[in-house]
Amino acid sequence: MKSVRRLLALGVAVSVIFSMGACAKNETKEQQTQAPVKEVELNVMMSFPQYMDQWETYCKQFEAKMEEKGIKVKVNLEMPSSDQFESVLQARISGDDAPDLYTLHSNNIAAYAKAGNLTDLTNQPLTGKIYENVRKTVTVDGKVLAVPIESQAWGVLYNKDIFEKCGLKAPDTLDELKNVCKVLKEKGYAPFMLAFQEQWVPQLMTALTIGGKVSGENKDWLERMYKDEASYEEIKDIFDPIDVIIQNGTQRPMEEGSEAGSADFANGKAAMYVQGTWAAQTIMTTNPNMNMGVFPLPINNNKDCTLVNLSTSTTLGVYPNSKNLDIALEFANYVLDDKDSSALFKSCSFNPLATVHNYESSPWVADASKYVEQGRSYQDLVLPSAVTDEQGKLLQEYCVGAVKADEIIKKLDETFKESNAFNK
Amino acid sequence: MHSKKRENLTLMLFVTPALIVYIIFKLYPAIAGMFYALTDWNGLNRSYHFVGISNFKEIMADTDYWNSLLFTTKYVVVMLVVANVTALMFAVAIESRAKGRGIFRTLFYMPNMISMIIGGYMWSFIFTKVLYYLADNWGITFLDKSWIGDPKYAFIAIIIVSVWGSAGYLMIIYMAALQGVPEYLKESASLDGANAWHRFWKIIFPMIQPALTICIFWTLNSAFQVFDVIYSLTGGGPGRVTQSVAINIYEEAFSGNIRYGYATAKSSVLFLIILLITIIQLRIMKGKEQEL
């Protein structure tokens, strides 16, 4: 009796295993037969969940447009949060599960191209539409490798109403900035919004200060850094404005995320915010009546260093081994479509960057553009991403007093050298 | 003899599906990882070079790694004590109740059913919004601490969330053990005049030693690999001050210079450390267990 039961158990176990295998087989078969030949799935991964709605609509428009051409396209749009985006993307690419199109920071274009993960777009119709100065930011070795999406001139955001009430104007030198802080404090306003919970936000301070300092006074610094011949010691005065910002900032900076910071800034909790114009969306949704302007962050008392940052951040790349490369290229071109692109860029409050964009830009964009027209701007510096990360980390520690300026200088020099060694 | 063999075969058949999954998804990646630890693979390129033990040499001089290991050790020690004491106290308290056991058991176990990433974000909201609201509006000023920004309080915050998440699980194990303590032993001890305190330490505690072994083993293991709580609560920040080894490894692999090879070398070292500590712990604890 016992052995019969055992035999039965064995039989059941075996049959379960086999039937499981059979199920799996059946499923794959069904999938294959169900899919019509003309249906194409396009996987798109993007790093700005704040524009989810706008891009979903745009993907629908693309699907409709392709259907007119007789191709049934289904766009799968994924938007991981920007903090995790890069790690998700890299895991997907190395796991042979790369999306057909993905966004990347323009600073990373060279690295991704070198690893063979970007398609050359130079001969695509879109290339001719991009403005010359923007096209430069997505070109590596004479090839256009990505579609620029977010391109902006940025510096410090400020609340024009508060400034007006206090009789202040945008500062041009560090002394003027200190005075602005003093007056604001006297009138009972917090000068700077600090939202340092995410490392990329404090990092913006180094982006602006190093950019201004180097472009104004120490032009070959970055070039020499890449040759291991320079040091952060030379640009030490970037800590002067950083100190001014931290000392005149709001309370609890580490407990404040970037979005919360934007919302609080919009509600008048502070008069200035070191943040790019990409935050405009959140700010204007929180307070549609906000009267916002942009000024370049002064580094010292040399006006030549007080410059706005002109940069392309988010771009869209096409994965060369995509199964539907032709459709993926169609999508890339559609981003700068003659008819529809303008509405998309306007609804995301992106800056116009191609000839097809004919909408009126927002007042703060106009503000920043004025500085660019006067020649008071610089092309964003491309630092190794390990250095950028390290700057964000160290500035967080600097803000809570866990590290001193001298130690930061030493650590950043080391990190830069290390990166140079890897990228040789 | 023959039937013994057949029995083994039957047992083997039953564990085969689990074993296959384990080999494919755990064992194979772990062994493959050991190989990548000897290369300079960056996770993006299709090619890589064999670099021997240079990654391991580099780890020796990597202060960030050792700092994160020190932080993790501190976390492990505190978790071992706090989580187990809390869980045991919950278990004893619930077991000694006549009514409502089910409700309390469910309540305390519930956090364990939530993913710790979600739990971490929930608590992050509590630490950065709710507590300040209480401090600002209700005058509970001792809550006005920099819960995420100050390394000291950030550590406390991390411990609170971790204990909240894991105590329920440990509690269930302790409760099962407590129920296994024979009633007659406790009864005869009472007859001999032992009070509740004595009964717990002289009878119950020695009897639940096997559960203690499991719980300490589990806490040790999971605490050394802590990632999700810290990631969602402080992100390892400010800077690197609350960075655990797992987060250090993650950042090495996915940000900065993107060094998969070096990161796998780091995790191999972590694996060896955990293995060593676990072996020692099991040796010591096994010797102490009481058999009935």
Shared-domain flag, residues A283 and A406: yes
> Quick check: B14 and A14 CB within 8 A?
no
Question: How far lies A38's CA from each of A34, A305, A327, A332, in Å?
Answer: 12, 57, 12, 20
How close does chain A come to B82, measured CA to CA in Å? 26
A317 vs A148: CA distance, rounded Å: 9
How far, in Å, CA of A121 to CA of A332, rounded?
A: 9
DSSP character for A230?
A: -
Q: Which residues of A touch B13 (CB under 8 A)?
A: 10, 13-14
- Mutate which of B128, B155, B242 to test chain A, going by most A C-beta atoms within 10 A? B128
What is the reported pTM? 0.74
What is the largest distance, in Å, between two alpha-carbon atoms of chain B?
77
Say if A125 falls within a structural domain: yes
Give A243→chain B minimum CA distance, Å. Answer: 17
Contact A145, A118 (CB under 8 A): yes
Quote the CA–CA distance of B43 and B249 in Å, as a whole number.
14
Q: Are residues A187 and A332 in the same domain?
A: no
A5 occurs within a structural domain: no
Q: What is the number of domains present in chain A? A: 2
A396 with A283, same domain: the answer is: yes
Chain A contact set for B17 (CB, 8 A): 17
Record: contact A402-B132, CB cut-off 8 A: no
Judge if A126 and A259 occupy the same domain: no
- Whether B43 sits inside 8 A of A252 (CB atoms) is no
Of B239, B254, B255, the CB nearest to A402: B239
- Which amino acid, B125? F
Question: Strand A270-274 and strand A139-140: pairing?
Answer: unpaired
Which phi and psi (to 5°) does residue A11 adopt? Answer: -60, -45
Together in a domain, A341 and A375: no
Between B147, B151, B256, which is nearest A402 by CB?
A: B151
Per-residue pLDDT of chain B (292 residues; tens, 9 = 90+): 567 888 889 998 999 999 999 999 988 988 888 888 888 887 766 678 888 888 888 888 888 899 999 999 999 999 999 999 999 999 999 988 878 888 988 999 999 888 888 988 899 889 888 888 888 888 777 777 788 888 888 999 999 999 999 999 999 999 999 998 888 888 888 888 888 888 888 888 888 888 998 899 899 888 998 999 999 888 887 888 899 999 999 988 887 777 888 899 999 999 898 889 888 888 887 777 655 5
Q: Kindly tell me the sign of the dihedral angle through the C-alpha atoms of A131, A136, A380, A56.
A: positive
Verify that A386 and A345 share a domain, yes or no.
Answer: no
Mutate to test the interface with A, among B67, B240, B250 (most CBs of A within 10 A): B240
Of B7, B240, B258, the CB nearest to A90: B258
Nearest Cα of chain A lies from the Cα of B196 at a distance, in angstroms, of: 46
- Same domain? For A85 and A218 the reply is no
**Do A199 and A75 belong to one domain?**
no
Q: Which amino acid is at A167?
A: G
CB distance A400–B149 less than 8 Å? yes
Pair (A198, A69) in one structural domain: no
Looking at beta carbons, which residues of chain B come within 8 Å of A14? 13
Nearest to B253 by CA among B265, B270, B244: B265
Residue A21 falls within a domain, yes or no? no
What are the structure tokens assigned to B45, written together? 């390129």
Pick from A225, A378, A229: nearest CA to A299 = A378
Nearest chain B Cα distance for residue A344, angstroms = 31
B-chain CB neighbours of A90 within 8 Å are 43-44, 254, 258
Q: How many CA atoms lie within 13 A of A337 on its CB side?
A: 16
Question: Does the residue A292 lie in any domain?
Answer: yes
Distance CA B261, CA B250 (A): 12
**B250 to A87: CB separation less than 8 angstroms, yes or no:** yes
The Cα–Cα gap between A236 and A379 comes to: 21
Phi, psi of A155 (to 5 degrees): -165, -115
User: Would you list the domain boundaries of chain B?
Assistant: 56-288
Domain encompassing residue A45 = 39-150+313-350
Same domain assignment for residues A392 and A253: yes
**A321 to chain B, minimum CA–CA distance in Å?**
13
Alpha-carbon distances of A189 from A183, A200, A243, rounded to whole Å? 9, 25, 18
Least Cα distance to A101 among A399, A335, A267, A328 occurs for: A328
Would residue A23 count as lying in a domain?
no
Contacts of A384 in chain B (CB under 8 A): 257
Q: Measured between beta carbons, which residues in chain B are less than 8 angstroms from residue A112?
A: 44
Cα of B251 to nearest chain A Cα, Å: 9
Is A65 part of a structural domain of the chain? yes
Contacts of A252 in chain B (CB under 8 A): 128, 132, 146, 149
Per the CB < 8 A criterion, the answer to whether B245 and B65 are in contact is yes
Give how far the C-alpha of residue B172 lies from the chain's centroid of Cα atoms, to the nearest Å. 15
Domain B56-288 matching CATH 3.40.190.10: the answer reads no
Co-location of A378 and A230 in the same domain: yes
Cβ A254–B148 below 8 Å, yes or no?
Answer: yes
Pair of tokens at residue B246: 């797992």
Of B46, B146, B259, the CB nearest to A255: B146
State the smallest CA–CA distance between residue B57 and chain A in angstroms.
15
Q: Which of A372, A212, A356 is nearest to A277 (CA)?
A: A372
Q: Domain containing A341 — which CATH number?
A: 3.40.190.10
pLDDT by position in tens, chain A (length 424): 445 455 445 454 544 444 444 444 444 444 444 444 568 899 999 988 888 899 999 999 999 999 888 889 999 999 988 777 888 898 888 888 899 999 998 888 988 998 889 999 999 999 999 887 788 888 888 999 999 998 888 899 999 999 999 999 999 999 999 999 999 999 999 999 999 888 889 999 999 999 999 988 888 899 899 999 999 999 998 999 999 999 999 988 888 888 889 999 999 999 999 998 888 888 989 999 999 999 999 999 988 889 998 888 899 999 999 988 999 999 999 999 988 999 998 888 788 888 888 887 788 888 888 888 788 888 888 888 889 888 998 999 999 888 899 999 999 999 999 888 877 6
Residue type (1 letter), A262: S
A164 shares a domain with A218? yes
